[in-house]
Amino acid sequence: MKKPPRLEEIRRDIRVSPSIYSRRLAEKYGYLPYMVERYISILGVDETVKLLEAFEKPLKPVVRCNDLLIDCRELADRLEALGFKLREISWSSGSYRVVEAPRSPSIGATHEYLKGYYYVHRDAASLIPGILLTHGYSGDILDACAAPGGKATHMAQLIHGRGRVIANDLVLYRLKALIGHVMRMKLDNVIVLWSDARKLPDLIDERYDRVLLDVPCSGEGTIMFDPGRKTRTTIRDLAVIVRREIELLNAGLEMLSEDGILAYVTCSIAPEENEYVVHRVMMDRGDVEIVEPPLKLFNWSSWLTTYRRHVFPEEFKKCIRIWPHRHGMIGFTTCLLRQRG
């Protein structure tokens, strides 16, 4: 496995010098200045303001029907009878945005929820990688950083009867939540592991045709849920996160079988955690290429091909970037990768 880069090297690559205008915007919306400077360099001033405004607006949760236990139309009717107003998500079968909710019960405390008839996602963006990875696929999937289980249980439904999900995580309290969801939803094709994903290549002989790597990240795309993320991650903190993401991506690629596909996923809009990480791994290894998504679910944005002094491969246009102000979802990215033989 490749030796991870030094923190000093990463900090040098991602260091910025905020302008006066970005400082004023950062002060108005409560951000660290380097974050707003970054947004302006990518989007321009006007669209940056739209992004910052989008982060100020809460998002409604999403219900994903467990069609192994109940007909999804019946579930929608039962929830609407309880006072929930649902809007179907056109690109994800059996998924609904909760547009309105009664005072009681909450969407996570209904009889139907306790029976395992659905999973509650904070947003629809997390449905994207599971749909792409399982499209036309039969076989096992490794979810290397799986807890609390939204994507793992989604994929377990999608490949039920055709494969298993090996769901791994390191954080015990999150792993307990994953096990709880698997049991509640009565999914019998999930195997749970407890390990640092970076150690999996040395611990497991098996290699997989599909790997989901939803890396622990800054969470910069989820500011609408957690405003503290506006100031939580300094440049030094970001360098530490990026180094771990590089290590995780290298390990995830080692878990791929020949011609296998890995989905690299973050809930961050920071190019340091997305374009930079993938490009760095591609340059260090020399055996990684981008895979075109098998479906175009909706009109998403693509990854950046330039960012400040960095020039990224043109094939990054195949990778998926979700912007809150453009797509009405959290900030989210997905990129499909494979190793060249």
pLDDT score, position 107: 98
Thinking of the domain 124-339, which architecture would CATH place it in?
3-Layer(aba) Sandwich (3.40)
Catalytic residue among 145, 267, 319, 335: 267
Helix (H) or strand (E) holding 172: helix 172-184
Catalytic residue flag (residue 267): yes
Are the C-beta atoms of residues 221 and 274 closer than 8 Å to each other?
no
At residue 226, the 3 state secondary structure works out as coil
Strand order in the sheet with 95-100: 85-88, 95-100, 62-65, 118-121
- 51-88 pLDDT, tens digit each: 999 999 999 999 999 999 999 999 999 999 999 999 99
Count the neighbouring beta carbons within 10 Å of the beta carbon of residue 95. Answer: 22
pLDDT score, position 8: 67
Which residues neighbour 123 within 8 Å (Cβ) at sequence distance 6 or greater? 59, 61, 62, 329, 330, 332
Q: What is the DSSP code (8-state) at residue 175?
A: H
pLDDT score, position 55: 98
Adjacent-strand bridge partners of 264: 213, 335
pLDDT score, position 123: 98
Adjacent-strand bridge partners of 120: 63
Whether 14 has a pLDDT exceeding 90, the answer reads no
Q: What does the pLDDT average to over 260-283? A: 98
The distance in angstroms from the start CA to the end CA of the chain is 17
Higher confidence at residue 10 or residue 198? 198
Whole-prediction pTM value?
Answer: 0.93
Q: Give the distance from CA 99 to its chain's centroid.
A: 22
326 to each of 61, 158, 226, 271, 318, how far by Cα in Å?
18, 28, 20, 17, 18
Higher confidence at residue 86 or residue 44? 86
The per-residue b/e assignment along 151-169, b for 16 or more CB within 10 angstroms, e otherwise, is bbbbbbbbbbeebbbbbbb
- Residue whose structure tokens are 């075109």: 292
Which CATH code for domain 62-121?
3.30.70.1170
- 99-144 pLDDT, tens digit each: 999 999 999 999 999 999 999 999 999 999 999 999 999 999 999 9
Tell me the domain boundaries of the chain: 62-121, 124-339
Whether 299 has a pLDDT exceeding 90, the answer reads yes
pLDDT tier at 21 (50, 70, 90 boundaries)?
A: confident
What are the φ and ψ backbone dihedral angles of 237, each rounded to 5 degrees? Answer: -60, -40
